[in-house]
Amino acid sequence: MDITPQNVQALADQKDEENIRFRSFLKASPLSVEQLDKLVLQTTDQVWAKVDCTACGNCCKHIGPVLDQQDAERLAARLGMTIEALVEKYLKPEEDPDEAGDRWEMRVRPCPLLDKDNRCTVYEDRPASCRGYPYLHDADFVFRLLGTLERASTCPIVFEVLERLKESTGFDAEEDGFQDDEDYEMADASQWPELLDAGPIPWDAIRALAARLPQDHDLLESVLIRVRELVESGFYEAFNYEIVYLPTVLALSAANLSEQQRRRAAYSLVASLKVAGDEVDELYMEILNCALEAFGDAPVSAALGAISQLDADHFGWFNLWDVLFQVTPQTEASLRQEVIGVCMDALGRAESGTLSLLDAMSAGEILAKLNVPEARDIIEGLASESVDFKEIAAVYTGTTLDEPPTPVEQWVESHRGFLKDWYEREEDDLDGGEAADRDRVL
């Protein structure tokens, strides 16, 4: 896509609805605020390196800078004027000020301090709002999305950064299902009646649906949305096994999905896993963990973000740490180092006594699996206090803790059988006249 100062407005208009959906997607993403800021910063630097801002000037032509007292004093000195003369000639009071003190805007646009080549004649002394524009290096990107979307129609850098972020976060541009909380409604009925039969596991229907996902973006999104709906509703409808079958469909399709589809599905499943933890739903967490095993290291970044938002006593803590076990020595170096950093921090907290050895055990296992040398002394020190850490320390001498992934057929049979037994017990209780609450009982 050829993005220029002349066509960015038209391109942004075409992306308007998509960008609003992307905003909702980022707000629902399991990425932490810090992770998203880091990704935005890296992406911005990559885009900025190939763009000459001074050759564009769209911000100077269409957006008036806001000046505070310090900006005005610096600019007046540069122009050899008093502040009073500067205000009279160039400035007007800011409309709808949100801060105390004198603040001004330029009277006219384009900025009168541009030369005939659209170059700033006071560049070294330009206002702070000009220096910071388009504010992509500022912290807390996720809380400033509306302003960023508005700037996409003016600034080619913002437009391209947003497009790259859509790709790197796995956003489905065709149809993303995450909406703001107030727009969320639970679906009344399943789209896949063939999965609702209470009889034997419908493997033919499951495998047929899985085979369609890589070629059908809308269908993939529908499956992800339905899984999220089932987790958020927390209602175990009688003899409905969708919460087992749909994650199975995703697991079976994982190997054939594109990189973007795999990342998108992994992020969505991790977000659902966090919700299941919020709701203390052990069954859903186990099912989602099993499904995520099929996605390799694609869910690791999302799990890191979710973990950073949680305390060790959160019900989903261990399940989310389990996702980090999917990082390998072959994982992209920057992601691998991020996992190592998080695990070393947990290990350090265990060593200082601010995190229990049980809560830090997964971190130790991951570090040993990756053969991180700086973790060895800490792990061996903790081995004197914990049999589990003694086993972890043995990994450095050749012992393996790795367990092969559970075959899909095995975990589906197991979880469906558990759910079937529970349904039947509940049915017997209801037949006996006892009231039963199906919400979050497992």
pLDDT in tens, 282-320: 889 999 999 999 999 999 988 998 888 788 888 889 999
Strand partners, 92: 105
pLDDT at 236: 62
Task: Read off the pLDDT of each residue in 6-14 and give the average, rounded to a whole number.
Answer: 89
Torsion angle, alpha carbons of 19, 24, 30, 31, to 10: 40
Residue-wise pLDDT tens digits, 335-357: 999 999 999 999 999 999 999 99
Angstrom distance (rounded) from CA 29 to CA 270: 9
Tokens matching residue 327:
């990082």
What percent of the chain has a predicted confidence (pLDDT) above 70?
Answer: 89
Name which of 31, 56, 59, 8 is nearest 163 in CA terms.
8
Q: Is a pLDDT exceeding 60 seen at residue 134?
A: yes
Please give the residue that has the higher pLDDT: either 236 or 109: 109
pLDDT at 406: 79
382 DSSP 8-state letter: H
pLDDT at 368: 93
pLDDT at 245: 94
Name which of 83, 109, 105, 110 is nearest 95 in CA terms.
105
pLDDT averaged over every residue in the chain: 85
- 3 state DSSP class of 97: coil
Residue-wise pLDDT tens digits, 197-254: 778 899 999 999 999 999 998 889 889 988 988 888 766 666 678 989 999 999 999 9
Segment among 135-139, 385-389, 421-425 with least mean pLDDT: 421-425
Angstrom distance (rounded) from CA 34 to CA 308: 9
Strand partners, 439: 235
Reported as a pLDDT band with limits 50, 70 and 90, residue 115 is: confident
Phi then psi for residue 156, to 5 deg, are -60, -30
Tokens matching residue 373:
């040398």
406 DSSP 8-state letter: P
Segment among 212-226, 254-268, 394-408 with least mean pLDDT: 394-408
Strand partners, 105: 66, 92
pLDDT at 43: 93
What percent of the chain has a predicted confidence (pLDDT) above 90?
Answer: 47
Q: Is a pLDDT exceeding 50 seen at residue 181?
A: no
Nearest 5 degrees, angle CA 211-CA 297-CA 40?
Answer: 105
Angstrom distance (rounded) from CA 336 to CA 303: 13
Residue-wise pLDDT tens digits, 37-80: 989 999 999 999 888 887 888 899 888 788 999 999 999 999 99
Cβ–Cβ contacts within 10 Å for residue 3, how many?
17
Tokens matching residue 199:
């009889």
Task: Read off the pLDDT of each residue in 165-192 and give the average, rounded to a whole number.
Answer: 61
312 DSSP 8-state letter: T
Q: Is a pLDDT exceeding 60 seen at residue 441?
A: no
Residue-wise pLDDT tens digits, 91-104: 998 876 655 568 89
Tokens matching residue 144:
């400033």
Tokens matching residue 347:
């290990």
Helix intervals (H) in 33-179: 33-48, 58-62, 69-79, 83-90, 128-132, 145-151, 156-168
What's the one-letter identity of residue 361?
Answer: M
Peptide bond preceding 405: is omega within 30 degrees of 0, i.e. cis? Answer: no
The answer to whether the beta carbons of residues 254 and 265 sit under 8 Å apart is yes
- Rg of the chain over CA atoms, in angstroms? 27
pLDDT at 430: 53
Q: What is the 3-state secondary structure (H, E, C) of 333-372?
A: HHHHHHHHHHHHHHHHHHHHCCCCHHHHHHHHHHHHHCCC
Highest mean pLDDT among 206-215, 233-242, 256-265, 404-413: 206-215
Tokens matching residue 193:
């009646």
The answer to whether the beta carbons of residues 206 and 251 sit under 8 Å apart is no
Half-sphere exposure of 300 (CA within 13 A, CB side): 21
- Note the pTM of the prediction, 2 decimals: 0.64
Angstrom distance (rounded) from CA 7 to CA 217: 29
